[in-house]
Structure 1
């Protein structure tokens, strides 16, 4: 009777190459999305007359939650193109909106 090995074989190279964009989207895309969220939240709260350091702290908290959400979505989704559009495009749009809002304050 032949012996059956319980050790699993390493995943094929094509499977490993599918994981790399997902990891990059989770880390880098999540960072861009969180950065845009922090910038927009902080500038919006400061515009609403909240003290700057309070707005900055609350913006950082919201940005941390946005990063966590983007990271988890990147791991779970099957639609990588949509993920990249939302995290990078949305992050860039939020950063641009925050910059526009800040320029109106000065």
Structure 2
């Protein structure tokens, strides 16, 4: 996460190379991790409850349910990020309008 295993002496700014590196790492984790979670995650997380030979029966519902939950969580996370970005942009726009008006 932000800061990693090194000590942050001062708060990072938006152009700080540490922030850019962390964003690249998080993006890579999402690009690699999300498809893995959808494809193989159910078999790892619910390994004791899923019988691979009997996937035609009830075990397939566990796989489908977990995959749906992962996709729904990702969509909710994306919506939260978009909402925060929109609020920040609106706040900055209002602040710059207030400065230019005075």
TM-score between the two structures when normalised by the length of structure 2: 0.37
- TM-score (norm. length: structure 1): 0.36
